[in-house]
Structure 1
Amino acid sequence: MTRPLRVVAVPASHPYVRRVTADDAITLHDDPRPDGAGPGVWWPPVALDAAWIRAHADEADLLHIHFGTESFDVAHLVDAVDAAHAVGWPVVQTVHDLDHPQLADADQGRYVAQLDALLPRVDAVLTLTEGAAAEIARRWGVEAVVVPHPRLLGSDFTADTAPIGFAADGRVVGLHLKDLRPGVDGPGATTALVAALDLLRARGHAVTGEVRLHRAVRDSAARDEVRRLCAASDAVVLVEHDRLDDTALAAGLARLDACVLPYRHGTHSGWLELCWDLGVPVVAPDTGHYADQHDDPTVASARFAADGSALADALDGVLRAGARPGTTHRRDIITARSAERDRVDRVVVRAHLAVYRAALARPRARPAPSDPTIQPARRPAPPAERTPA
């Protein structure tokens, strides 16, 4: 019997990575733990390092980069890819982000420089939507394999046990700002939501907003502005809480009639996928490729302007298309989507296996030396937890 392919995935413990490699033909190398890191902490990723790769050359067949490149400068990443090639490992990269959600607008150039260096250098590129693949082809001349996002609802839930919320008289639109990471525009999204809800109420809709915020945030000025905006509106309530575990998060989302995504920049959203699993309609900003993740009338995008008009129209559409919490219709949607996830997730795993085998079978030229013109970038702080985005 042929042994499984041994893959160093960066990171191996991420739920997305576990989903897309769930096959007996693939074995993931455990994430090496950074010095002093607690359980479950994989960043900055130890395996994305030339010295580590050379020291563990006999333990794997292939390197797959998903998350964590923002922990390093460009030269470090190029050295890691060249080391992988030197020991005989093909390198695969999934481009989850074209605009990095963990970095501020002013720092996006460093991430683009990483993509400039890595995408032409790796052996295969994957991404999550056709729109992102087209952008990759246009910007880097690289053909990316499109693999849809897998389910994000935890394995503790089935179609029968996933929460469906509870019936209520009015509709509730949620805005989860979490810890106000750089890719989240808390004040801007809150401003647009308040204005949109005022417009919907003027049209006769019985709708309120629920803005949620972690007690510990990265941007205290943005938090204070969100507090002020919510206090000044009778259309929204602000709920501040500690980070939710998976069960509490699913229950909180399930009680919504719709969810607004608060991103200032980004490309794809795990949060959108979790809402889709739970039958919760979503409106995303008209940036990135969020709207490409599902061709579904309950997923829409809109410009989040201060007047709220575009967001109000998008919310009106998804609320009409979606199912109310606590109804059999919501349960039926979850059941149908669960079956669709079963099918698509199998396709996604097979696609990864096919990419790995093709990369291993493809003859490669000797690695080019590292470009001496590549200048190291300032090393940013390690990222916070990433799922769902």
Structure 2
Amino acid sequence: MTDATTAASRRDSSAPVRVQHIPASHPYVQRLRVLPGEAESAESGRNSQATTAPVEFLADPPVPGASPGQWWPHPALEPAWVHEHAEQVDVIHLHFGFEHRSPAELAQFTAACKMHDIALVHTVHDLSNPHVPDDAQHLARLDVIVPAADALITLSEPVADVVQQRWGRRPSVLPHPHIVPPQRLAAPRPSRLDDGEVLLGVHLKSLRPNVAAVPVLRGLLAAVRPGVRLQIWIHREALEPDFARYDAGVRALLEGAADRAGVEVIVHDPLEDDALFDSIAHLDLAVLPYASGTHSGWLEMCHDLGTPVLAPDLPMASQRPCLVYRRAQLPGSLVRAVEAATAAGQSPADGPRPEFAAQRLAEQAEVARRHARLYTFLAED
């Protein structure tokens, strides 16, 4: 921090540290806002004002013209918002949602934080942004944010290594907190198939830019054989020719696969949380179809539900124990990975779920505590 006297003049040192997350209304961020001793009322991901001394968590500001609950584009990224609310904020923690801002605009935002002695924390979730096709622009934005931040966090050691190599700063590494609610963490897994078959599953959703749908589908379809079944889940809109990311090759593969023995194509609208958790929990192996990416909430959700994961050779594979396939060797690497998993008797975690839930909740509590300690340190520095 550049001027501790400025901070002291606008904040009573005995008052809670006021933290503005960008965004606050996100499942990952919500887990950081529930500390030990608090009711787990925020397990729905919607309690945007959960507080605990000495930290006060601020809600997302309303977005002009947007429906209630929409946090994007986030007003707190605007220098004008920072200037206007500087007396009410001690720390801004930037997570996601800045891809609409140019590097020059982000430089104005970080300068406004420094002008008002507001500590800036950034969690490097993404070295490669899964929502945009141009990683060069994303890295250009990080070239502004990472050097300007007063503290950096990331979720895995490989990403910390890259940040240190590129920007000369090493982030603290804190694990991804649990995704699914506590009561679901402790729930028994569904019974396995009576016939002993192994059920693979891949969720293509709406074909985000980082999804390598065609080569992954080819590999998985080639892996189907007696004893190995495959479910392919895809959003209905992704198969409409007027959809922005419509892929005729994906549609052709799915139409050809629909009548194959051992393959089920499930076309659906976006799933509510419980239905989504069910779709993952009954699988023996969940396949992540990503061509690029850094960390994965989906992988974390599978871990929460006790479903083994087959992930691409990206940093996300170090988040939790999982099997790995090589993107440069698709589709063959997927076939080999599935064969190795089934030959080794790969099966969902069978340990006591209440014990697992307690471990996950303890980890989440420690991650939240460490964030709170960081905010307090920065505000008092």
Q: TM-score under structure 1 normalisation? A: 0.83
Which of the pair has the greater relative contact order for Cα pairs under 8 Å at 6+ separation? 1
Q: Secondary structure of the residue that 1:136 maps to in structure 2?
A: helix
Q: Shift of the alpha carbon at 1:41?
A: 1.6
Corresponding letter in the other structure for 2:298: W
Which segment is superposed worse, 83-92 or 335-344? Answer: 335-344
CA spacing shift, 1:318–1:126, aligned 2, 3 Å: farther
2:308 and 2:268 map into 1 onto residues whose CA distance is 23
Q: Equivalent residue for 2:337? A: 314
Q: Shift of the alpha carbon at 1:158?
A: 4.4
Q: Equivalent residue for 1:366? A: none
1:140 and 1:229 map into 2 onto residues whose CA distance is 47
1:260 and 1:129 map into 2 onto residues whose CA distance is 20
2:77 and 2:333 map into 1 onto residues whose CA distance is 42
1:9 and 1:347 map into 2 onto residues whose CA distance is 18
1:101-116 equivalence runs, <5 A: 101-104=130-133, 107-116=134-143
2:91 matched to 1:65? no
Q: Equivalent residue for 1:15? A: 27
2:273 and 2:61 map into 1 onto residues whose CA distance is 25
Which segment is superposed worse, 219-228 or 80-89? Answer: 219-228
Q: 1:344 aligns with which of 339, 348, 363?
A: 363
Q: Equivalent residue for 2:232? A: 211
The answer (yes or no) to whether the contact 2:185–2:304 under 8 Å persists in 1 is no
2:297 and 2:268 map into 1 onto residues whose CA distance is 21
2:68 matched to 1:47? no
Corresponding letter in the other structure for 1:358: F
Q: Shift of the alpha carbon at 1:323?
A: 3.3
CA spacing shift, 1:65–1:165, aligned 2, 3 Å: farther
Q: 1:130 aligns with which of 157, 168, 183?
A: 157
Corresponding letter in the other structure for 1:172: L
1:244 and 1:133 map into 2 onto residues whose CA distance is 33
Q: Secondary structure of the residue that 1:212 maps to in structure 2?
A: strand
1:108-160: CA deviation from partner (whole Å, max 9, x where unpaired): 1110000111101110110000111011101111110000000001245240x
1:1-389 equivalence runs, <5 A: 2-23=14-35, 24-25=52-53, 26-104=55-133, 107-159=134-186, 161=187, 163-164=189-190, 166-169=192-195, 170-195=197-222, 197-198=223-224, 201=225, 206-217=227-238, 218-221=244-247, 223-228=250-255, 230-231=257-258, 233-287=260-314, 289-294=315-320, 296=321, 299-304=322-327, 308-319=331-342, 320=344, 322-324=346-348, 330=350, 332=351, 334-362=353-381
Q: Secondary structure of the residue that 1:119 maps to in structure 2?
A: helix
1:330-385: CA deviation from partner (whole Å, max 9, x where unpaired): 3x3533432221221122112212222232233xxxxxxxxxxxxxxxxxxxxxxx
2:330 and 2:127 map into 1 onto residues whose CA distance is 28
Percent of matched pairs sharing the same residue? 35
Aligned length: 344
CA spacing shift, 1:50–1:254, aligned 2, 3 Å: same
The answer (yes or no) to whether the contact 2:199–2:231 under 8 Å persists in 1 is yes
Computed over aligned residues only, the root mean square deviation of the Cα atoms, in angstroms, reads 2.1
1:42 and 1:73 map into 2 onto residues whose CA distance is 19
The answer (yes or no) to whether the contact 1:43–1:71 under 8 Å persists in 2 is no
Which segment is superposed worse, 274-283 or 310-319? Answer: 310-319
1:246-276: CA deviation from partner (whole Å, max 9, x where unpaired): 0000111111001000111000100000000
2:259 and 2:142 map into 1 onto residues whose CA distance is 43
1:24-52: CA deviation from partner (whole Å, max 9, x where unpaired): 13322111222222232211111111001
The answer (yes or no) to whether the contact 1:194–1:235 under 8 Å persists in 2 is no
Q: Secondary structure of the residue that 2:205 maps to in structure 1?
A: coil
Q: TM-score under structure 2 normalisation? A: 0.84
1:252 and 1:336 map into 2 onto residues whose CA distance is 23
CA spacing shift, 1:62–1:162, aligned 2, 3 Å: farther
CA spacing shift, 1:65–1:154, aligned 2, 3 Å: same
The answer (yes or no) to whether the contact 1:165–1:254 under 8 Å persists in 2 is no
The answer (yes or no) to whether the contact 1:64–1:93 under 8 Å persists in 2 is yes
Unaligned runs of 5+ in 1: 363-389
CA spacing shift, 1:265–1:248, aligned 2, 3 Å: same
The answer (yes or no) to whether the contact 1:92–1:123 under 8 Å persists in 2 is yes
2:346 and 2:85 map into 1 onto residues whose CA distance is 50
Q: Shift of the alpha carbon at 1:194?
A: 1.4
CA spacing shift, 1:74–1:353, aligned 2, 3 Å: same
Q: Secondary structure of the residue that 1:180 maps to in structure 2?
A: coil
Q: Shift of the alpha carbon at 1:59?
A: 1.5
Q: Shift of the alpha carbon at 1:228?
A: 4.0
